[in-house]
Amino acid sequence: MKVVITFPGTTQALRMEKEARERGLAGRLIPVPSAIRAGCGMAWSAPVEARGQLESLLETTGIELEDIYEFLL
């Protein structure tokens, strides 16, 4: 199971990648799965166990997101 975070634009997706890498958090940028839609076509995918850490990162950094999903990828 994976957590997939979508963003309204590429800037937010790339900032997520930068901030997560700096903190050693799991995950990577992926193309948005065809089952969902997102503004920029990029999403952050990580193990579902990392969801809490990722939500905290989004809150503390103020990175704008569209939605958070859980998927079998």
For residue range 4-40, what is the model confidence (pLDDT) as tens digits? 999 999 999 999 999 999 999 999 999 999 888 778 8
Residue 57, both tokens: 């990162």
Q: How many CB atoms lie within 10 A of CB 42?
A: 20
What's the topology of domain 2-71?
Alpha-Beta Plaits (3.30.70)
Cα separation of the two ends of the chain: 7
pLDDT, one tens digit per residue, over 34-72 is 888 778 899 999 999 999 999 999 999 999 999 999 988
The residue type found at 71 is: F
Which residues have CB under 8 Å from 64's CB, separation 6+? Answer: 7, 8, 9, 12
User: Strand runs (DSSP E) across the chain, as ranges?
Assistant: 2-6, 28-31, 42-47, 67-71
